Structure 1
Amino acid sequence: MRNSVSQLQRALDALVEQVDTPAPIVLVDVMQSNIDRMQGFAAQQNLAVRPHVKTHKCVEIGRRQVEAGAVGITAGNVGEAEVFAAAGFDDIFIAYPIWPAGTKGPRIRRLAETTRLRLGVDNFAAIDALADAMGDEAERLQVVIEIDCGARRSGAPPEVAGDLAVTARKRGLIPVGVFTYPGHGSSSRDARERAARDQDVALTTAVRSLSAVGISAEVVSAGSTPTVEFSTSSVITEIRPGEYVFNDLNNTRLDACTEDQIALFVAGTVVSDWIQDQCILDVGTKALGREGSLEIGYGAIPGTTAVLAKLNEYHGFLPLPAGGFRPGIGTVLPVVPNHVCPVVLNFEELIITDSTGTWLERWPIDARGFLN
C-alpha cells in the first residue's frame, strides 16, 4: 500500500479524537472518483451501470451512484430491495434466484406495485412459485434468467434459458433477458479475462436460446468488479459491479484496482504489546469478518509490510519485524480489508471524511441485517 498511505493516514490523524475504534472510515473523494470512473467506462462501452448495493448497503451511496448515471440498482435479497425502495429507488433488480416462501411472496408483490422490479430465476419450480405468489398481478414482475458461465454457483445451463423464459411467459410473468456472474474471475489475475470470455460465450448462447423461442433479450447483464474491465462484448447491455465503490486488497491483488482507489479502511487501536514481536489491535472478526488466510493475512497496514496474521473475535494479531515498524499502545492504525463486503455488514454506520480528514459525517448502513 504505497500511493494511498498519505491520504489514509492524514484522514485518520485528523479524526483520531472523534472516532471510537474499530470503525469503518470512507474517503468520500476516493469513493466518488471510483463511482465516476465506472460510469465513464460504461459510457465508453455503451453499457448501463446497475451497481450492486450489497457492498455498501447505504442509501446515500446508492443515491450518488444513480446521480452519476446508474440506471437503477442491484440488490441481493428482498430485504435490501425493500430498504432501497422505501428510500425512493424505483428500478431494482434482485440478482438472486429467490424462492418465495414464507412472507417473501407478498413482499415481492408489494415491491412490484411500487417499483420496476426484476427478479432472477434459474429453475422451473421457482417460476411457478413466483407466478403463484403474484397471482393476477403476474404481469407486474419482470424476470431475468440466470445462467452459469463457469462459476458453478446458481444459474441454469445457457441453452436452457429459452425454455425457462417461455415457461415464465406462459405463467404471465415478463421475461426480459439473461444474467450471469463470472465469479471464477476472482481466483487470480489471469482468471479475470478468461472468466469474462466464458461470460461472453454463455450470455451469447443464452440470448440465442431466447431468440429461438421468439423472445428478445432486452437485458443482458454481466457481473463482478474483477471482470468488468473485460465485459465489453456487444451482447452485454448492463454491468453489475459492487466492490468497485470501495475496492479492497483482493481487487488490488487481481489488478482490478490500484492502491489509491481503495476508499474504505477500518480504524483500529493498538491495545496490547506484551509480546516483543507482536501487538494486538481491537480489530477482530467482529469488524473484518473472516476473509483471509495464513498466506495473505487478514488485512494490511498501509505504508508497511505488516499484515494481520490472525484474528480472534475482538483481537487482531499484528506481527512486528525486528528493528522495523512498531506502533505504541494507543496508536490508531488504518487496516485495509481483504474483502470489503463483510466489513460493512458488521457496522451500523460509515464514518465519512475525505483525504484531508477536515470534515466528518456519519451515514447509516441502512440495509444492514436485512438478509432475507
Structure 2
Amino acid sequence: MEPEKVRAPNIRDVARLAGVSYQTVSRVLNDSPSIKPSTRQRVLDVINDVGYRPNQAARALVTSRSRTIGVLSGQTTHYGPATSIHAIEGAAREAGYRLSSTSIASGDYASIRSALDYLLSQSLEALVVLAPQVRVFEAIEELSIAVPFVTLESSGRETGHSLSVDQVAGARMATRHLIELGHTEIVHLSGPKDWIEADARMQGFLEELGAANLRTRAPILGDWTAHFGYYAGLELLRFRDFTAVFCGNDQMALGFTHACRDMGLDVPGDISIVGFDDIPEAAHFSPPLTTVRQNFAELGRRAVAQLLSELGGEAPRGQEQITPELVVRSSTARVATPAVAGRLRR
C-alpha cells in the first residue's frame, strides 16, 4: 500500500491558521500598505511555520507582475559568465525576483532568435543579455524589446542599455605592462572571430602597440582553450622571434606556459606571458600568472541594480563601464639582454 501523499499548504490553510481571510494573506504577500503591522506579522509567522510557498504563476495572473528577470547567455561553463550569472541570481533574489534563463545552442541566427522568443514568452519584467556574439545584438535590435534590458558587452554601440568591463582598456594595460618591461616583439593570442570581447581585446593590443610605435603582428585567432594555447605555443616557439605574449584569456595563457616548459624555455626568463580574466586558478599557475582582473560579480550586481532602477521609473543609464585591474605576478619580467635574445632566436 502506497503511503498517503502529504499535501503542500495553500493560501487558505495560512488564512485559517492566522485567523484572517485569504484575501488578507494575498495582500500581505503583495506588500499592501493597508494591512496592520500586527496582522502582517501574524500572517508571516504562519507562512514561516507551515512552509507555505506562493504559486508564482497564480500571483502573476492576479498582480500582472511575474517578478521574473530573464537571462540570455552564450556560454555558461566559463568562469566569467558563470560568476556573473550567480551574482545576478543572488541580487535578483534579494530584490524579490527569480530568474528564467536559457543559453544559445549555437551562434546561428535561428538559435539566437529561438532563445530570445522563449524568454520573452515568459512574461519577463526585465532581461539581461550575457552573450558574446555580434549576431545576438543584431537580433535584439530587430525585436525591439519592450521590457527594460541590459547587455553585458563592450561593443561600443550606442544602445543605451550596455554595461561592461572596459575590455579595450584592459588589453592596453596588459600590453603596456609588457612594453614597460622592455618588450618590443609581442604576440597576441586572440579569442574567436565574432566574439565581442575578443575583438575589443585585440583592438586594445593594437592601439597600445601603435601608441608606442612598435611593429604590429597579425593576432592569432584562438578558441579560448588551454589546448589551443599549448599547440599555438609549440608552433610559435619554433621561431622564437618574440619575447612576450599577451593571451586573450587565462586558459590560453596556461596552455602557452605548458608549451614553453615542453620547449625547455623559462617563463618569464625567456618568455613573458600575460593573460586576461584572473580566474581563481591563475594565482596558482607555475609561475603565477600576470593577468587582467575583471570583476564579474560586480558586473552581475550592477546589471540587476540598473534594471531595478528602470522598473522603478528611471530612464536607462546609457553605456556604463567598469575599469579592470592589472594583476602583476611572476609570469612577466624585464626583457632578456640582447645576447640572450639572440640565443633565443637561434
TM-score by length of 1: 0.27
Q: Which has the higher strand share?
A: 1
Please identify the structure whose Cα radius of gyration is greater. 2
Q: Which has the higher contact order (CA 8 A, sep 6+)?
A: 1
Q: Which has the higher helix share?
A: 2
